[in-house]
Every structure is written in C-alpha cells, then in structure tokens.
Structure 1
C-alpha cells in the first residue's frame, strides 16, 4: 500500500493527472449511482408501486446518443428543442461543441467508458507488467472503424426527413429508449456478453482499445479537432527525445515524433505535458497562444456546469413525460418496437 508521502509527491509532480484520476472516479461512481437510481425508478412501475417511487434522473439521457442525434437534427433544422429527452440533447450538443475548442476532454476526464478502459489497461499492466503495442499496419486498419460506425449513424439520421425525425422523438419507442437500454443490461444476451468480454480482454493487452478504434461517440467529439484551435506543441530545440510523453499517452500517440499534436484522438488529458522532464518543451496552445496546463480542463468544467445550470433554468433538462404516462409505458417497454 502506498504511503501518504508517496501520494503527496505524486500530487506535487503531476497535479493535473492526479486530479483527472480523482474526477474520473467521481464521475464513474456518479454514473453507477445514476444507474441505480434509474433502476429504482423502473422497479417502482414494474412492481405496480410496491417499491418506493424514485425520481427519474435526467442525466441517464446522456447514454442515449442516437435519440440525441435525431433531436440535434430536429433542433438545427426546425428550431424545435426535444422535450422527451432534453438532457440528452443538451449533453450531446455540449460535448460535440466543446470538442471544437477543447478537443476530446470529455473522453479523458468524465466518460465512464473511457475511465473503465483506463482501469482495465492499468489492470493489464499489473498482471502482464506492460500494455502491448499494435503493429502500425494494424492500427491503420483499425482506426477507420469508429468513423465508419459514426458515418453509419449520422447517415441514418440525415436520411430521415424532418417529419420522420419529429415523429421518432415522440414515438413510444423513443420515450422508453432509456428503459430499453436498462433491459439490455438486465437481460444481457450471449452475443452482447461475448462482445464485452472480447473488448475487456483486448483492453487488458492494448491500452484504450475501445476508445481508440471503436467508439463512434468519441469519434464525433473528436471531429472538432479538425479546426486545430487547441493542440499540444513540442519545442524540438529543447526536446531530449526521452519519449516519456509517448509512453504516458493513453491514446498511444507518438508525441515525441511531431512538432504539433493534431491527431483527432488527442483527448487533452495533459499527461504528456506533465511527463516531460524539460520545462517548456511541451505546451498546450489555444489559437497559437501558450496556456497554462489547467486551462483546458478548467474551462471545460466551468462551461459544463454553466450549460447544465442554464438548461435547468430554461426548462431544457427534465422530460415532459408524466408519472401517469410512465405508469402506462414502462410495464410494456420490452414489447414496444417489436
């Protein structure tokens, strides 16, 4: 067990990373709490009120990206804001929009799946003493997969006319999409379980396998990096090529080989900046200006809580679905859409 002195030393040496790990843990626990709260909400209706009523947590809509994507299309094309799963639209819009300025900060700081991936990779290092590297040719083959998946989902939504999109949002299937997601995990199929096991094993050997190659949500957020407003820059004159930056990168980017990290996979975790032993060699820049290593995460969280606060104030956070409607829909949720 590590001593308090060890933790104090680590906090002093890499405060951003220690803070990031703590925030990741908090949001992972929060996600589990949201899941438990939603299950209790669901249980109340399927037991005909025999269990206490628990308020439905609107944050659960953050796990409904397809619904939010359709809602985003409707909002951008007609100006109508989704009233069924408004929190889902708020969160998707913020995370994708924030990606333009702040890169994939969501992925490295609060995404529960990203956190789980990093924990699995850590487990792999404990068991195998290391995480393995994939051959460069295989990385090239695997990288497009998440963009193909993203293109599939975006194409599916784009081909919907505005009437069909609006109809989908108010359809009973979309209304209980969060319940159906819960049922998927409560009654997990053999195929789904096998898929999760395979991803788990791959993530033990290859760090952040899901995030790097398969996650369409992260791919969508990462598209904002195309504008290259925010990036890590390396001073080649002071760099000693120690490769510490590359070794700590969760996305396995070859930071020590480039002058500017412009990869869409960069998640602004700041691990490389803190790992660099030569002060001023690696810097985060915004609009070509050097910024403090805390700038990106602090800006992200300030905007994150402001956006949620404003959404709650103007009535774009909680669903309009009533208790009476939930009482009718939830017991039949597993049959809706079949």
Structure 2
C-alpha cells in the first residue's frame, strides 16, 4: 500500500512524464501484437495454407522508411500514391511533416526504437546509479554521423531516376521487403547481432545513444523542427538555475543554458516544462504564443489518428498486392533480390 501511495504521489507530481511512459508502453505492446499478427500472416503462406490466414496488418509498413522515401519521391514527381505500401507512405509523410509543428514528438512518444533506447538507459541508471555524459568534443564527433547517414539515403533516392523509383516500388523485392525485414530480425546473427549488442551496451551507459547520434529517421524529422513554429522558451529573468530541466531531459539538452531550445534533438516530451519549479519560466510556445504543456502531444496524436482515418477513407491504407501474389512471393522470399 505504501508503494502505491508513493507511486501515486510521483504521478500526481509529474503527470505528463508518466503519461508519456504509459503511451510508450501501450504502443510497444500494440507493435508487438502487430508483429505477431504479421508473423501469423507470413506462416499461412510459408506453410502453403496449413496455418490459418490472418489479415496482414498495414501498420508493419511503418518499419519501411527507405521504401516510403522512394514512394514519396514518386508521389511528389508523378502524383502516384504508392499502392504497394500505402500505409508506409502515409505514416512516413506524416511523421516527417509533423516535425514542423510537433517537433520530434514521434521520437519521444511513439517510436519503438526510441522507447527501447530510453528504457535501456533507465535500466543503466538503475544498475550503475548514473548515465555517462558524453564530453562536448565527443558530441562534435558523434552528432554528424546521423546526418551523414541521412545524406547518404537522401542522395541515393533523390538521384534515382523517377522511372527507376517506380520500377523499384513495383518490384518483387519491395513487395516482400516487410517480410524480409521480419525474417532478418528473427534470424539475426553474426554482424547484425554484434551491432545490436554494442548498441544495447552503449545505451546502458549513454542514454538514448541511438536516437542522439545514429538515427537518420529522427534526424530528418528534427530538421523540420528547426524551421518549425514550436519552441521551448526559457525566461532568464525568473530562472533560478536549479538545472532541473537539463537533468530530466532524455536527450541531455542543456535547457537551463539557452533562451530558446532550437536544437533538432528536442522530442517535445515536455518533461523540462513540467519539472520547472517557477511558473512561466519554461514554456512551450507556438508562433511565440505560450500554450499548455499538453497541447503539443495531444494535437500530435489527434492529427496522427486523423491522417490514418483519411488514408483509410481514400483507399490509401491497404496494399493492392493480391492473395495470389503473396502465395507466390512469400514461399520464395529468400530467392527474391533487388
């Protein structure tokens, strides 16, 4: 009973932080459910129909950012909305565009990799009583990595001829890219397993290591937030330099040292705003106008569900790949190449 009272007091004191954790858990469980359903869908075809057919969940396409980037190029240049992975294109477009208004809310509230990285960092703090703070000189070396990776992907896609992009989009490799991705993680080993283990160890000591230094997807969303209309602003006149905002930031942004948080790493988690002990010293602003700390995350999720509803109503959510195509492609997935 005492433990529950202590937990209730923490939630009451920091409602948005605990709400974010709850949302992260719910989405992680939802994606786990989606993964199981997709595996069941795969097994129906892999067993030649012996296992029952489970409808393919379109949400798995959210894990195909490269395919979505190619599809976005085709959509912009030709007006053709990807019929192969339409849900992937709808989600990718929304998440990239969301950076201009909601900053990197996707990374801070929904992204499963971001959630895993953050929670591993919390585990590290529990085990070792601290998280390593990367020296400034090392940050200068590590931070450009995600932008170099982003530039590489953008360069490959943007320099791809439009007809080549259409051919890739309609090709068998792209059609089963979600299946290939699933099989890669189910059978990961060697170099892949080593990389994952290294990232886990790094995340134990350096909170959100992947998100802060390596993720090109987050880097692309973050670029939008640099030019966006939402900013966290600090009133230096009323600030008492308690440093609480910097300590609570999952991205280790030195909020207490800047007047306006302009960095593209801000995930709109609102933890810094909530923890500030002096009223109106730290605020989220939209076009310089102060808004309630719940506005950005609430508006982000409302828009997210509206986008999905529009995609479904306009027929841009479910793939046009037929049952017969799946029946041919999935049993031969290991033979399908670029």
Distance 2:17 2:226 in 1: 25
Distance 1:2 1:45 in 2: 52
2:255 aligned with 1:255: yes
2:103 aligned with 1:96: no
What's the offset of the Cα at 1:312?
A: 0.4
What's the offset of the Cα at 1:2?
A: 6.9
Tell me the secondary structure at the aligned position of residue 284 of structure 2. Answer: strand
Look up the match of 2:245.
Answer: 245
CA-based RMSD of the aligned residues comes to 1.0
Look up the match of 1:37.
Answer: 37
Q: Given that residues 102 and 230 in structure 1 are in contact (C-alpha distance below 8 angstroms), is that contact kept between their aligned partners in structure 2?
A: yes
Look up the match of 2:127.
Answer: 127
Look up the match of 2:75.
Answer: 75
What's the offset of the Cα at 1:116?
A: 0.4
Look up the match of 1:16.
Answer: 16
TM-score normalised over the length of structure 2: 0.98
What's the offset of the Cα at 1:183?
A: 1.2
Distance 2:31 2:130 in 1: 29
What's the offset of the Cα at 1:8?
A: 2.0
Aligned residues: 338
Tell me the secondary structure at the aligned position of residue 272 of structure 1. Answer: helix
Distance 2:116 2:330 in 1: 30
Tell me the secondary structure at the aligned position of residue 232 of structure 2. Answer: strand
What's the offset of the Cα at 1:181?
A: 0.2
Tell me the secondary structure at the aligned position of residue 283 of structure 1. Answer: strand
Q: Relative to structure 2, which stretch is displaced further, 219-228 or 137-146? A: 219-228
Q: Given that residues 99 and 224 in structure 2 are in contact (C-alpha distance below 8 angstroms), is that contact kept between their aligned partners in structure 1?
A: yes
Look up the match of 1:199.
Answer: 199
Q: Given that residues 83 and 320 in structure 2 are in contact (C-alpha distance below 8 angstroms), is that contact kept between their aligned partners in structure 1?
A: yes
Tell me the secondary structure at the aligned position of residue 290 of structure 1. Answer: strand
Q: Given that residues 99 and 228 in structure 2 are in contact (C-alpha distance below 8 angstroms), is that contact kept between their aligned partners in structure 1?
A: no
Residues 254-312 of structure 1: CA distance to partner in whole angstroms, max 9, x if unpaired?
A: 00000000000001000101111111110000101000000100000000000001100
* 5+ long unaligned stretches in structure 1: none
Mapping 1:202-281, distance limit 5 Å: 202-281=202-281
Residues 146-190 of structure 1: CA distance to partner in whole angstroms, max 9, x if unpaired?
A: 010011001000111111011110000000000110110122131
Look up the match of 2:84.
Answer: 84
Tell me the secondary structure at the aligned position of residue 245 of structure 1. Answer: helix
Distance 1:49 1:228 in 2: 50
Tell me the secondary structure at the aligned position of residue 317 of structure 2. Answer: coil
Distance 1:189 1:334 in 2: 16
What's the offset of the Cα at 1:228?
A: 3.9
* 5+ long unaligned stretches in structure 2: none
Distance 1:2 1:134 in 2: 37
Look up the match of 2:282.
Answer: 282
Distance 1:94 1:262 in 2: 21
Tell me the secondary structure at the aligned position of residue 22 of structure 1. Answer: helix
Q: Given that residues 132 and 206 in structure 2 are in contact (C-alpha distance below 8 angstroms), is that contact kept between their aligned partners in structure 1?
A: yes
Residues 119-151 of structure 1: CA distance to partner in whole angstroms, max 9, x if unpaired?
A: 101100110001110111000110010010011
Q: Given that residues 28 and 112 in structure 2 are in contact (C-alpha distance below 8 angstroms), is that contact kept between their aligned partners in structure 1?
A: yes
Distance 2:141 2:118 in 1: 22
Look up the match of 2:165.
Answer: 165
Q: Given that residues 183 and 334 in structure 1 are in contact (C-alpha distance below 8 angstroms), is that contact kept between their aligned partners in structure 2?
A: no
Residues 3-60 of structure 1: CA distance to partner in whole angstroms, max 9, x if unpaired?
A: 2222221222111111110000000111111111111110111111111111100000
Distance 2:159 2:99 in 1: 25
Q: Given that residues 45 and 327 in structure 1 are in contact (C-alpha distance below 8 angstroms), is that contact kept between their aligned partners in structure 2?
A: yes
2:151 aligned with 1:179: no
